[in-house]
Amino acid sequence: MFLKANVQTKILPGVTHWQSPEYFAYFPSNSSTAGFLGEMLSAGLNIVGFSWVSSPSATELEVIVLDWLAKMLKLPSAFLSQGEGGGVIQGTASEAVLVALLAARDKLLRRFGKNSLPRLVAYASDQAHASMQKACQISGIHPENCRVLQTDSSNNYSLSPSILREAIAKDVEVGLIPCFLSATVGTTSSTAVDPLFELGKITKDNEMWLHVDAAYAGSACICPEYRHYIDGVEEADSFNMNAHKWFLTNFDCSVLWVKDRNALIQSLSTNPEYLKNKASQGNLVVDYKDWQIPLGRRFRSLKLWMVLRLYGVENLQSYIRNHIKLAKHFEELVSLDQRFEIAAPRTFALICFRLRAPQNDEDCGNKLNKNLLEAVNATGKIFISHTVLSGKYVLRVAVGAPLTEERHIETACKVLQEEATALLGGTGA
Ligand code: PLP
């Protein structure tokens, strides 16, 4: 009894309710009955599936489920387990980009020699997630060789192939070696989509590794009408999506597929005596410890399996479509109020918007929007987050909590309008 009371008095008051239907901050982090059941079973079994022999079902299920999901996304067959590729569940997208970069780095170090590390260059747009920068730091890419390529509103914040081509040409001219591009489908700030097909041609011409970070938007690509956002993925070496964001799978479950699993294994495998066993030595099985940074790993495929089995493709597609429909509704409502403007085109279920700057004074506009965010969140009725696009402070409403309905979207808009009125004075729209 005292524990229950402690949870209520000491824990819950400090919890941010990510599962609330009025939670619109960052990106969603879905929970579901199926995901929860999978988590429970995983917690109960509590296996540590580092190698096949340490719990065969854990490895076998992961291979099967990731092939299913790859097929749902219509990924090229090179990413499936039957050939030289395959999928692996990482804890986070940050680990996914890191292991991909390590594999890309080591491939080039084998070719150009170990001393060539200071010459390797990694590229991403200025909209790429900060995990890319962290991956560069950890993998020893020289800080001056982590290229952050500029984007702007004229391109809807997507990476321009000509900017990439120019940057590579400049680097090659001075003897540097282009190594890695992380392209994003659904950037964190505004869900911009980098053009994979054109970027992929460039990385191929330069024998670089192309990683696709679709951490958020990958889920939407199970719907035929959104699949085109990953057209060109056939040019990629690795593809990542967070099932723990917008796919009803409880945190953590970040899926990484690679075309050349040996590239990962060559970078990450170890073979200590105490782990040796017949199956591994016979090269008959997958040992996921060699596809990731830690040794130990949870039975995460259970929750993804439950989600796929209990909901099925059609329900998952409807789930995504419903959030996108709700996001459109929010966009329409906020656009009807002339005090607001849309700050970047909506592609999936994130709306970037702001109060217009008074007299076009952007400093004042930034302060105003910051105050609005703080006032809205202080109500405790909804929770939203922000970003900065082209120097402008922008509010983000990410629709994607499993319980969000039209009425919650309408509440969100109402709270924003009321707080805007309180800040600006007057009667509102
Ligand atoms: N990539 C993108 C596009 C993201 O939006 C995020 C997080 O929101 C990440 C990577 C990092 O995700 P994780 O927390 O799984 O490392």
Give per-residue pLDDT as tens, 384-397.
999 999 999 999 99
Q: Which of 1-10, 179-188, 246-255, 419-428 shows the lowest mean pLDDT across its residues?
A: 419-428
Contact 315, 88 (CB under 8 A): no
What separation in Å is there between the alpha carbon of 253 and the centre of ligand 1?
12
Q: Other C-beta atoms within 10 Å of 166: how many?
A: 12
Which residues make Cβ contacts (< 8 Å) with residue 142, sequence separation at least 6?
117, 118, 120
Residue pLDDT, tens place only, 284-342: 899 999 999 999 999 999 999 999 999 999 999 999 999 999 999 999 999 999 999 99
Under the banding of pLDDT at 50, 70 and 90, the label for residue 426 is low
Which value does ipTM take for this structure?
Answer: 0.98
Mutate to test the pocket of ligand 1, among 99, 138, 188, 247 (most ligand atoms within 8 A of CB): 188
Strands 120-125 and 146-149: parallel
Q: What residues are in contact with ligand 1 under a 6 Å CB criterion?
A: 27, 92-94, 129, 131, 184, 186-188, 213, 215-216, 242, 254
**Residues 169-189: what's their mean pLDDT?**
98
Residue 298, pLDDT score: 97
Residue 213: which H helix or E strand, with range? Answer: strand 209-213
- Kind of pairing, strands 385-389 and 392-398? antiparallel
Would the pLDDT of 427 be above 90?
no
Model-level pTM? Answer: 0.96
Smallest CA-to-CA distance from 123 within 164, 151, 95 is with 164
User: Which residue out of 27, 131, 133, 190 has the highest number of ligand 1 atoms within 8 Å of its CB and is therefore the one to mutate?
Assistant: 131
| Closest C-alpha among 20, 72, 50 to residue 307 | 72
pLDDT in tens, 236-283: 999 999 999 999 999 999 999 999 999 999 999 999 999 999 999 998
Predicted local distance difference test score (pLDDT) of residue 194: 98
Residues 6 or more apart in contact with residue 76 via CB below 8 angstroms: 233, 234, 259
Ordered structural domains, the chain, with CATH: 2-30+312-424 (3.90.1150.170), 48-298 (3.40.640.10)
Statement: residue 221 has pLDDT above 70: yes
The DSSP code sequence of 48-99 is --SSGGG-HHHHHHHHHHHHHHHHHTT--GGGSTTTT-EEEEES-HHHHHHH
